[in-house]
A and B are shown apart, each in its own frame.
Chain A
Amino acid sequence: MPALCAVIWGTALAGLDAHAIGTQRTLVAVGGPTVLLSGLHARLYSYLHAPWRGDRLVQPIPPDEHFIIASRTHRAGWLRSAALGTLAIVLSVASRLDGDPIALGLVADWLVFALIAWATEPFIAAASAWAGRRFPSPSTVRQLQDALGGGWTLREAVVHLYGPALGLGLAMVLALPAQLAIDQAVDGMPAHRGLFGAAVLGVAIAMGLRWLAAPRLYRLGVFEAVPFLAEATKTLAGPAIPDPPPRWLRWLRDPSLRLVVLQFYRLTPVPNVRLIVLAVGTVLAARNPSAPLLVILAATALVWLVPAQALVRSRPVRARLLAPLPTDGSPQVAALALLFAPPLLAFGTVFIRWSAL
């Protein structure tokens, strides 16, 4: 998803008029958080949500070790998202990077935000660990938990509904003075001491949250927040009765192939909607030959393909299941062919259409 968001963001930036400075800066201020938000849950997953975190809690591992291990996963994910965002913005203003201070300023704005997000994201998880506990009644935190939850999930898990948005908002607020200071410098305006001070303060607060507050809050909450979150997930999910599979699945004669396709339908979000999105992208690109529309088609193809990672993750279990069974490996090849057929068909259609024009 971060890759997809970066592609859309970069395409939108590249399509703007070079003189529309305000629009470009707004797009950086809005698009940057979107790129990071799209991968936020995956980056923070290891702190509290991951089943293996709960499994490890039975062992005498200090909370700081849990935090350090989860932070490694976070760092790797953040690096990927930040690299994708940087690539998107650099490519979108590539022709102007040589000597255009506005283009350089856009890149700097993004990098400042990404750096502050790196510092504040672990704080989101840590604050959620602290607030995801059972507080005595009456207490202000408990009243807040009750008020914000609406009664449809555990009060201890309410914080996880709001944490990511609040955390990202915090990153935007902390980055704002530094971004404004950069933009003022780019525009040749005199340096404002107050703004400079606010920028330094924003960065200092972010670093303080990362290095001082986050480990302490996480330490206080991890042993309670993880079990409560697991309990809330089960309660929220209800009985695990999925929707029936699509009827056309019966047409697939090979049971192994049917299994893979069924998993694709269950493990990837809204497959039919993704297919429709790809079809819309194909129609748009086929009607009007242009590079931006081709990029959008590529993005819709990614929307179809990228969630299939869930199938790659489940491959070892499937392999162990199939190993002693009377079946060969060909269904996996057929499944791959089925997965790639819609994007290939889409690009083929566009290619034929463009050739005819």
Chain B
Amino acid sequence: MTLPLHVLDVTKAFGRHQVLSGIDLDIEVGETVVLTGPNGSGKSTLLGCICGTVVPDQGTIQIGGHDLRLAPILARAALRYLPQEIEVPEGVTGSEYLAFFRDIYRGDEPPQDLAMRTGLGTALHELATTYSVGMRRRLAFAANLAGVMVRERSKGRPLLVVLDEPFAGIDADGRAEMVRAMQGVLANGGGLLVAAHDRDLLDLEVMKPRRFDLAVARRALPSP
């Protein structure tokens, strides 16, 4: 069965500083994995490797069965990534931002469904650069779920949603809304990889996540 994420023996060093070494990680369909570890343990590097913004020194990464190196477009089509810091392009409104993601992922849900998911109301007609941190995160989260609930299930391709500290700047209602959407992703055959701090784990508990502690993985590294 095709996995949303298959990571095998991924290694990454920046200069002489070995950040990741021989990392193996699989995420099953319907599974949530929480990536934990203290600052500097390599969470962002691993997420970067998985999302294609950092190139690993060795190892294999497959997303939805597609090798990230050999089939970069197909692998990215099966990936949704919510970064820690949300940057929105200048001159684009919230609704145009949503439409862009919907077109990129060829989502076939009605635009108003995506708009509803943001909970931003009429603010969607305003330039997204004027949004607060929390509003940007809600917008980007909804945008990244374009096409997730309908198309991926019909095509039978598992999908990986990667969330880097998704609850930063989000109020309690917003967090509950996001968790419901995450459950929807899992129900539609996706897998979740969430980088989170301990304080966020309570919100994720309802999805019975598996913890993957990079600090533990680092202890296995040979000393330099």
Contacts and interface: CB of A to CB of B under 8 A. Distances in A.
Nearest to B52: A324
Interface in A257-284: 258-259, 262-263, 265-267
Interface in A240-265: 240-242, 245, 255-256, 258-259, 262-263, 265
Contacts of A341: none
Contacts of A240: 126-127, 129-130
B167 to A, nearest CB: 20
A242 B100 CA distance: 17
A262 to B, nearest CB: 6
A263 B77 CA distance: 24
A324 B53 CA distance: 7
Contacts of B10: none
B36 interface: no
* B contacts with A: majority SS: mixed
A321 B76 CA distance: 13
Interface stretch (B37-45, B84-92, B111-119, B170-178): B84-92
B20 to A, nearest CB: 18
A41 interface: no
Interface of B: 51-53, 73-74, 76-77, 79, 81, 83, 87-93, 96, 100, 103-105, 125-127, 129-130
Which 6 A/B pairs are nearest by Cβ-Cβ distance? A266-B91, A255-B103, A326-B77, A326-B76, A240-B127, A324-B81
Interface of A: 239-242, 245, 255-256, 258-259, 262-263, 265-267, 310, 314, 317-318, 320-321, 323-328
19 contacts: A240-B129, A240-B130, A241-B126, A245-B96, A258-B100, A259-B89, A262-B92, A262-B96, A263-B89, A263-B91, A266-B90, A317-B89, A320-B83, A320-B87, A321-B88, A323-B53, A324-B52, A325-B76, A327-B104
